[in-house]
Amino acid sequence: MARILTGIQSTGNPHLGNLFGVIFPSIELANSKEGSFFFIADLHSLTHIKDPKILKKFTYKVASVWLSCGLDSGSDRVALYRQSDVPEVTELAWYLTCFYPYQRLKLTHSFKDKLSYLDDVNTGLFTYPLLMASDILLSDAEKIPLGRDQLQHIEITREIAKRFNREMGDIFILPEPIVNEWFIPGLDGKKMSKSRGNVIDIFLSDMELQRQVMTIKTDNSHLHATKNTDRDIVYYLYKLLASKKKVYEMKDSYLEGDYGYFQAKEALYSLLLDSFSIEREKFAFFIQNPFVVEKILAKGALKASKAAKITIDRIRKALGFGDMAEFGLN
């Protein structure tokens, strides 16, 4: 086993794709003796969110989702924390900027992508991958669960670590990504993603969740017609969660006809409520009791800071920012 780390931005509730892609697999790996670090990337969120109340609210929501999905925050091996509670992360990010060529950072896909559709193209969006590299390298993490769209950021992290190690000695561990290959389609059938606005958020109220499920795109075949399960998003999502028996039943209904998409969506909605009843209940508790979440985050920050101090001392020393005594100058 290895030390694992992952972060999620506080730009809204994590959606069903995040749960299957990152949160559930990470929680499963969380109890390794090397420790696990899970954080809310609120510094990264500042590239988008400039309203302090919203930033704070989303931070609690993301933390509540982790806790609701079963993260054992009471374990000594687990730290759930806010990125902004570990200021060493911004210090290291600066050091890293001095080791990575500007011309290479310009090639980052995520930046070029955002450049094409965002109005506020701030410098934080550009240096985003270096802050992410700092998150990872600061905690000596070895395995990083994340979405496929984040792979280039891990490549950049590895490249910086190699460049740094080459010049300054063996300072950093080279991290490896863990990518979950499940395809989770969004409301429009394309990959579920926050920026595409096609998400299913299982932490919405009953009514809002139902409304969301009802907007899943379907073809316009008639109620009586036989329906094709191969291309249908409702069926695909149902299949991810339902028992084999229930999946066969829905498939039969599709093939027999006289079964409309409205009914299929109702079935999917009930299944979502059933499948995530515990998570939804816990989420409601944490949202109503932010002081409980705050306490957990404060404890997590202590653990993360302890690990950060060890690394940052090593780095300061290597760069020439350490104590005079270390250089034999006193």
Positions that interact with ligand TRP (CB under 6 A): 5-9, 41, 44, 132, 135-136, 144, 146, 150
Measured from the CB of residue 11, what is the shortest distance to ligand TRP in angstroms?
8
Cα(280)–Cα(203) distance, rounded to whole angstroms?
A: 6
Measured from the CB of residue 125, what is the shortest distance to ligand TRP in angstroms?
11
Q: DSSP string of 214-273?
A: HTS------TTS---STT-HHHHHHHHHS-HHHHHHHHHHHHHS---HHHHHHHHHHHHH
Q: By C-beta, is 175 or 185 nearer to ligand TRP?
A: 175
Measured from the CB of residue 105, what is the shortest distance to ligand TRP in angstroms?
15
What is the sign of the dihedral through the CA atoms of 282, 57, 191 and 22? Answer: negative
Measured from the CB of residue 172, what is the shortest distance to ligand TRP in angstroms?
14
Q: By C-beta, is 5 or 264 nearer to ligand TRP?
A: 5
Among 171, 166, 139, smallest CA distance to 5 is for 139
Q: Where do the H-state alpha helices sit in 32-74?
A: 42-45, 52-68
Q: Where do the H-state alpha helices sit in 139-205?
A: 151-168
Contact criterion met (CB below 8 Å) for 145 and 27: no
Measured from the CB of residue 127, what is the shortest distance to ligand TRP in angstroms?
12
Measured from the CB of residue 140, what is the shortest distance to ligand TRP in angstroms?
13
Q: By C-beta, is 6 or 59 nearer to ligand TRP?
A: 6
Measured from the CB of residue 194, what is the shortest distance to ligand TRP in angstroms?
9
Q: By C-beta, is 44 or 82 nearer to ligand TRP?
A: 44
Token reading at 273 = 């409520």
Among 273, 263, 266, smallest CA distance to 204 is for 273
Q: By C-beta, is 136 or 264 nearer to ligand TRP?
A: 136
Q: By C-beta, is 5 or 202 nearer to ligand TRP?
A: 5
Cα(155)–Cα(82) distance, rounded to whole angstroms?
A: 24
User: Which residues, in sequence order, are bridge partners of residue 5?
Assistant: 37
Cα(7)–Cα(80) distance, rounded to whole angstroms?
A: 10
| Enclosing H/E stretch for 39 | strand 36-41
51: amino acid identity, one letter: D
Q: By C-beta, is 6 or 64 nearer to ligand TRP?
A: 6
Q: By C-beta, is 9 or 84 nearer to ligand TRP?
A: 9
What is the 8-class DSSP label of residue 191? B
Measured from the CB of residue 229, what is the shortest distance to ligand TRP in angstroms?
31
List, edge to edge, every strand of the sheet that includes 143-146.
Answer: 78-82, 36-41, 4-9, 143-146, 176-179
Pairing status of strand 4-9 against strand 36-41: parallel
Cα(316)–Cα(160) distance, rounded to whole angstroms?
A: 16
257: amino acid identity, one letter: G
Measured from the CB of residue 304, what is the shortest distance to ligand TRP in angstroms?
12
Q: By C-beta, is 78 or 216 nearer to ligand TRP?
A: 78
